[in-house]
Amino acid sequence: MKRMASQTPNRPTAPKLPLPRREGDGAAVLERRPQKVKPPQMYQVVVLNDDYTPMEFVVLVIQEYFNKDRATATQIMLKIHLDGKGVCGVFTKDVAATKVDQVLGAAQQAGHPLQCVSEPIGP
């Protein structure tokens, strides 16, 4: 037994598009303005000194997560040791946050209290 709908469904009507305007209609034309795009805010990743994390571990972390060669990583580690903190790299906000998380995770997994933060650069 076939059942039929008592009413045919309503079909939606297509929206009416405005007709193109001709010159002299009184239509205003907006000028294109070039958009000024600012570069993204940059953040520096800073490793903080502590009296417990071995220097060799700090060098390995800098090599692993900041792609520095051994000599550069050792120089950064010595700056951290002598000045209390050292910049390991400059990145956009999301990349800097990821680097901080990676360093903190590696330190925690190794059982070291090494601290790392990201700071905005400039205004």
- In whole angstroms, give the CA distance from residue 72 to residue 67: 10
More confident residue, 63 or 2: 63
Q: What is the pLDDT of residue 15?
A: 67
The CATH number for 89's domain is: 3.30.1390.10
**Residue 85's beta-bridge partner residues?**
48
Using CA atoms, how far apart are residues 43 and 64, in angstroms rounded to an integer?
Answer: 19
Give the number of other CB atoms < 10 A from CB of residue 38. 5
Does residue 96 fall inside a structural domain?
yes
State percent of the chain over pLDDT 70: 79
If one compares 122 and 80, the residue with the highest pLDDT of the two is: 80
pLDDT at 34: 86
Provide the residue range defining the domain that includes 72: 53-120
- Positive or negative, the CA dihedral 68, 74, 79, 80 is positive
- CA diameter of the chain: 91
Q: Is residue 116 part of a domain?
A: yes
CA pair distance 44, 60, nearest whole angstrom? 19
- Note the pLDDT tens digit of each residue in 57-105: 999 999 999 999 999 999 999 999 999 999 999 999 999 999 999 999 9
pLDDT at 123 over 80: no
Of the two residues 16 and 89, the one the predictor is more confident about is: 89
pLDDT, mean over the chain: 88
For residue 31, tell me if it sits in a domain.
Answer: no
Name 89's Cβ contacts closer than 8 Å, sequence gap at least 6. Answer: 44, 45, 66, 96, 99
Q: Is residue 61 part of a domain?
A: yes
Identify whether 32 is part of a domain.
no
How far is residue 82's CA from residue 48's CA, in Å, rounded to a whole number? 11
Average pLDDT over residues 29-53: 91
Q: What is the pTM of this model?
A: 0.70
